[in-house]
């Protein structure tokens, strides 16, 4: 990822997640700190952090860098499976992976199926609502509506704008559609 695009992604993630310099419990009751970093694995099992602990700026920056790399890697893999995936949609996938984890699509299997088949209108409905046509907001929409609207806007970009670039399998290049 080019430095300007990487910095824009970092700024976007910080804006959406917030930067909190202490350990807190997120909306699901899980210990979290920094820029939405979920304390799990070694950090959790060894009890390295407790709620209320202050976090050093270096710790926050390192967690963000590590978490963003995981999200970007997952987004690249997912973008390859979505027809007409634009670079901006791949960036939206990074944000989704950062927030919900690399297996987010397992929480939205029908939406994922529609995305991979290029049925973007139906994917959009599955993300926004508990199920297509229900008009009942999904739990994700209720919990973090701005994040969902970001993703819906990215899906709209696939629907309403003829993409000029498609992510290719080697992930580093995009090809122009003629």
| CATH number of the domain within which 60 lies | 1.10.530.40
pLDDT cut 70: percent of the chain above it? 90
Chain centre to alpha carbon of residue 50: 26
**CB of 32 closer than 8 Å to CB of 55:** no
Spell out the residues 6+ positions from residue 50 whose beta carbon is closer than 8 angstroms to its own: 23, 31
Mean of pLDDT values over 101-108:
96
For residues 149-160, average pLDDT? 92
**Residues spanned by the domain of 49:** 3-176
Q: Give the pLDDT score at 46.
A: 77
> Per-residue pLDDT averaged across 56-66, rounded?
95
pTM of the model: 0.85
Does the pLDDT of residue 103 top 80, yes or no? yes
Residue 160: its H or E element: helix 145-160
Domain count, the chain: 1
Average pLDDT over residues 33-54: 88
The pLDDT of residue 44 is 75
Which residues share a beta bridge with 129?
137
Instruction: For tokens 């939206």, name the residue.
Output: 92
């Amino acid at each position: 990822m080019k430095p300007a695009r990487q910095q824009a992604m970092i700024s976007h993630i910080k804006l959406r997640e917030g930067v909190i310099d202490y350990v807190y419990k997120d909306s699901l009751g899980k210990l979290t700190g920094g820029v939405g970093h979920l304390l799990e694995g070694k950090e959790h099992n060894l009890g390295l952090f407790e709620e209320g602990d202050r976090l050093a700026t270096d710790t926050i920056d390192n967690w963000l860098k590590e978490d963003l790399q995981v999200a970007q890697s997952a987004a690249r893999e997912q973008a390859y499976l979505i027809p007409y995936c634009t670079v901006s949609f791949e960036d939206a996938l990074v944000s989704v992976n950062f927030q919900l984890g690399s297996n987010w699509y397992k929480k939205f299997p029908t939406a994922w199926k529609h995305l991979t088949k290029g049925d973007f209108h139906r994917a959009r409905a599955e993300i926004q609502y508990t199920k297509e046509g229900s008009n009942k907001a999904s739990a994700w929409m209720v919990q973090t509506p701005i994040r969902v609207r970001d993703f819906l806007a990215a899906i709209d970009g696939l629907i309403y704008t003829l993409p000029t670039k498609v992510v290719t399998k080697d992930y580093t290049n995009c090809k122009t559609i003629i």
